[in-house]
Amino acid sequence: MSVGQVAQQRMRTRLTVKGVVQGVGFRPYVYRLATSLSLGGWVRNTSRGVVIEVEGGGLAVREFSRRLAAEAPALARILEVTSEEAEPAGETVFAIASSEGEAAPMPIVPADVAVCNECVADVSSPGNRRHRYPFTNCTNCGPRFTIVEGLPYDRPLTTMKTFAMCRACEEEYHNPANRRFHAQPNACPACGPAVCWDGEKRDDALGLAARSLAAGEIVALKGLGGYHLACDARSPSALERLRERKGRGKKPFAVMSRDIAEVRRFCSVSEEARAILESPQAPIVLLEKVAPDYLTEGVAPRLHRYGVMLPYTPLHRLLLEISPPTLVMTSGNLSEEPIVHDDHAARSVLGHIADHFLSHNRPIAVPCDDSVVAMLNGKPLPVRRSRGYAPVPKEVGLRGPETLAVGGDQKNTFCLLRDGIAVLSQHVGDLENVETVEYLGRAIEHFKQLFEVEPKVVAHDLHPDYASTRMARLFQGVRLVAVQHHHAHAASAMVDAGLKGPVIAVAYDGTGYGTDGTIWGGEILVADLRRFERAAHLASIRLPGGEASIRKPARMAIAYLLAGLADRGLQTAIDIAVPLPDSEMRVVAHQCASGLNSPVASSVGRLFDAVSVMLGNSPVATYEGQAAAELEAQAHGYGTAGEAYGFELRRESAGVVFDLLPAVREIAQGVRRGDSRAEMAARFHETLAQCTAEVCRQVSEETGLVDVVLCGGVFQNLLLAGRVLELLEEKGLRGHVHDDVPPNDGGLSLGQAAVASALAQE
């Protein structure tokens, strides 16, 4: 058949597009593409994705199929396109058909998107009917996931269903050529949500909030996914009151700045970091301080980075135009409880913290914290994956029974796996109280309904006493799969990097239940998705008092000095001024000697605690990872890696053991001599990096493996992660770090789901 005959031959093709293709302007895009090629047919949303039928000349139909994914909108994330021939129906006009809800593969919900430049222009233009309207949005931006109550993603199944559109908004909504075509949260001042001040609708609410913030007061502000607590980031008294009222301890606060120019007053902003700050996801980005005195010290005490974000809704932008230019913007909750998103609960929970409430009357269906990323070698390293990123799916390539993974007890997320697609939840939090555990249960049920998953397999951590493990046991008629903590970390990293394994996995964190019943946390594994071998680990040490040693890093300093210096350990602790009372030192010494309430652990996190306290950092932890974060900041102050301390490698029956007690002894001597503490902190990082790379080299020689994944919460330490990557490359190995899910326990559920799915295929 000639080219002319193919072009004239009438064809009809049916295409099904899976992925993030609803709520991102995909149907208008399809409409424009089809009409530009003079094709007939239709496009519609379904619970299985977007379904398209196009009809016309053969070459035009094939051109449409070729361009469909290649030219898709920037916010779309296409996982799969399938096509099949259909019988021509004689259609010559293309239409956007109404949605239908039909049983099908896992549906996908779009994530929330920061306000776009076009909507910013609308809000900023005096002649525009949305001038200074705080809830302006379009197909390219605005709330998505946080307003969804059901699928398909259409207005009647969102919290916008109570706001009837005015005629002007209706015309935009139904016009395929308009950028607000089928923008489900579409609204204007005449028909949409309104701002409230202390519970009453007020036209001057934003002005009242700005004046309150300038006066040093604390304002509870309702945003996309819940309430924030805001105050002037340059007011020491406001910060002090916020910390005291919230029970925040020394944990750093995130801030929101008016614009990039304001951020550059106190932070170093690379072009890569700026792109992330201004991206549709608009996360909190960890940036190095350049003017530590610009904001009050209470924002991020003893750290070298601030967590900074830009205004991602019109409400935030309008407020920051008239308020202090940088505001603390921290989650509206009591410490370690879920973010508050319900208006009534906000008054109850936050009433004793906030002086005033700036809210609105658009309900939030799904609470969602801000996401957090760090910048490693010019690329984002996720720290918390939530608003803007959840529930964007990941293709894991594993087909098996529908699976739920409940995650761990710290930085909890959960994961659903169906049809080879994993959907990771937003950040849930630490399962340390009844409120968060109950919220986890509700969130799982909501996801099961939303994504049409009825799990046949439930994966959980190996630890028998985790709250998440207990929750997994509540499911009836399912296969329970216990996944070792560090194997889950390794699997998460493999899926994130697109590796099938086996790989060498360096899993460093605080604590995880080991297969031998001891606490692990400094592991080098040889792993694939089904199984792992413990190739090497950090030398184990006692945790005096168990959980007490995590809350009091000074206890770990004593434990390491006792292990490294034996009878001279206590006296050395006194000589270098480890801040622990003599009576408690003696208790710690007895616990270490007898093993009373002192389990053994191979934890790199606890090693960081010990060295941090030895070098004069906080002896008591008011938040997870505080001692390690302060040690990294201290090392950053030195500027260069420095010479490594000594370490020992020895082969035992369980594999290679790497021991940093020689380094501990040298650090103790350096403190006695009065050496630079910043230099000692830098040298400790270099020591651990060199030790890690050398063990990986040895494991590589024995196994022939060259891919190394770095996982676990310790690799949020950019100094360590960056240096290990450099050293691995020097040794001819390929290092991989996370780029889509966090290396900490926030990524654990993805690994659990992958392991459980892989095991189900055996």
Q: What is the pLDDT of residues 208-264, one digit of tens each?
A: 999 999 999 999 999 999 999 999 999 999 999 999 999 889 999 999 999 999 999
Residue 369 confidence class, pLDDT cut points 50, 70, 90: very high
What are the distances in angstroms from CA 306 to CA 47, 288, 628?
41, 6, 16
75-92 residue pLDDT tens: 888 888 999 999 999 999
CATH of range 195-373; options 2.40.70.10, 3.90.330.10, 3.30.470.20, 3.90.870.40: 3.90.870.40
Which residues lie closer than 8 Å to 293 by C-beta, 6 or more apart? Answer: none
Residue 670 has pLDDT above 50, yes or no: yes
Residues 602-621 have pLDDT tens digits of 999 999 999 999 999 999 99
Query: How large is the average pLDDT for residues 149-155?
Result: 85
Residues counted in the chain: 762
Query: What is the dihedral angle through the alpha carbons of 412, 418, 420, 422, rounded to the nearest 10 degrees?
Result: -20
pLDDT band at 555 (very low <50, low <70, confident <90, very high): very high
552 Cβ partners below 8 Å, 6+ apart? 545, 580, 619, 620, 621
Structure confidence at residue 2 as a pLDDT band (50, 70, 90): low
Alpha-helical segments (H) within 127-249: 167-173, 205-214, 236-246
3-96: what fold? Alpha-Beta Plaits (3.30.70)
Query: Token digits for 108?
Result: 């996908």
Which pLDDT does position 568 carry in this prediction? 92
What is the residue extent of each domain of the chain?
3-96, 195-373, 537-736
Pick from 527, 523, 493: nearest CA to 508 = 523
Instruction: Classify the C-alpha dihedral 277-283-284-286 as positive or negative.
Output: negative
What's the one-letter identity of residue 305? Answer: R
Torsion of CA 17, 21, 25, 27, to 10 degrees: 30
Buried b (16+ CB within 10 A) or exposed e, 97-131: eebebeeebbbbbbbbbbbbeebbebbeeeeeebe
- State the average pLDDT over residues 558-573: 93
Q: Of 458, 468, 460, 526, give the one whose Cα is nearest residue 494.
A: 526
Each residue of 409-465: pLDDT tens digit?
999 999 999 988 899 999 999 999 999 999 999 999 999 999 889 999 999 999 999
Q: What is the mean pLDDT of the chain?
A: 94
pLDDT, residue 27, reads: 87
**CATH class label, 537-736:** alpha beta
Instruction: Report the percentage of the chain scoring pLDDT > 70.
Output: 98
Residue 334's pLDDT band, with cuts at 50, 70 and 90, is confident
Where residue 736 falls among pLDDT bands split at 50, 70, 90? Answer: very high
pLDDT given for residue 103 in this prediction = 44
Residues 539-562 have a mean pLDDT of 96
Q: Average pLDDT of 511-520?
A: 96
Position 8 scores a pLDDT of 65
* Residue the block writes with tokens 């530009």: 36
Could you tell me which residue, 602 or 762, shows the higher pLDDT? 602
Report the chain's terminal Cα–Cα distance, integer Å.
48
pLDDT of residue 6 exceeding 60, the answer is no
Side-chain-side CA neighbours of 369 within 13 Å: the count stands at 24
Q: What is the pLDDT of residues 277-323, one digit of tens each?
A: 999 999 999 999 999 899 999 999 999 999 999 999 999 999 999 99
- Compute the average pLDDT of residues 264-278: 98
Inform me whether the pLDDT recorded for 101 exceeds 70.
no
CA distance 234 to 215: 11
- Residue 102 pLDDT greater than 70, yes or no: no
CB atoms < 10 A from the CB of 244, how many? 10
Q: For residue 714, what pLDDT is reported? A: 98
Q: What are phi and psi of 533, to 5 degrees?
A: -130, 135
pLDDT of residue 4: 54
For residue 155, CA distances in Å to 22, 111, 454 come to 12, 15, 25
Q: Encode pLDDT of 41-77 as tens digits.
A: 999 888 667 899 999 999 999 999 999 999 998 788 8
pLDDT by residue (tens digit) across 16-32? Answer: 998 888 778 888 899 99
Report pTM.
0.92
Specify the 3-state DSSP secondary structure of 530.
coil
Q: What is the pLDDT of residue 21?
A: 84
pLDDT band at 100, cuts 50/70/90?
Answer: low
pLDDT digits over 190-224, tens only?
A: 999 999 999 999 999 999 999 999 999 999 999 99
